[in-house]
Amino acid sequence: MGFYVKPTVFCDVTPDMTIAQEEIFGPVLSIITYSDDDEAVAIANGTVYGLAGAVQSADPERALSVARRLRTGQVDVNGGAFNQYAPFGGYKQSGNTRERGRWGLEEFLETKSIQLPS
């Protein structure tokens, strides 16, 4: 049993509210306002999670600049499509492992370093 809600929009959300700090699975949109890019990035990075994020902007260079600053494992810029060949995984409490390709295989390997006299 779980808690289920109909598609819901929450407005006037502040970064310190539970709904802004916990993962909400379902058709839920929380609206948090911000003044500039620095504040937006601070809000986005101000949680213990970091699986994925998204940036929308009419200026593609600005969107990419913001995307680089987000502490998430994946960032979609201006509706970018999911790339099944890209590594997938999160940051912080969303996990530090990666799936797919070389990154997924490295999760199962152990690396050894052997030092020899010069």
Q: What is the pLDDT of residues 62-107, one digit of tens each?
A: 999 999 999 998 999 999 988 887 878 888 888 767 776 677 677 6
Q: Would 44 be classed as within a structural domain?
A: yes
Helix (H, G, I), strand (E, B) or coil at 76: strand
Q: Would 7 be classed as within a structural domain?
A: no
Q: What is the pLDDT of residues 29-48, one digit of tens each?
A: 999 999 999 999 999 999 99
User: In whole angstroms, what is the distance from residue 50 CA to residue 73 CA?
Assistant: 6
Q: Would 21 be classed as within a structural domain?
A: no
Output the six-digit token pair for 41. Answer: 């990035």
pTM score? 0.77
Q: Give the CA radius of gyration of the chain.
A: 18
Q: Would 93 be classed as within a structural domain?
A: yes
User: In whole angstroms, what is the distance from residue 10 CA to residue 8 CA?
Assistant: 7
What domain range is 92 assigned to?
Answer: 34-106
**In the chain, how many domains are there?**
1
Q: Would 97 be classed as within a structural domain?
A: yes
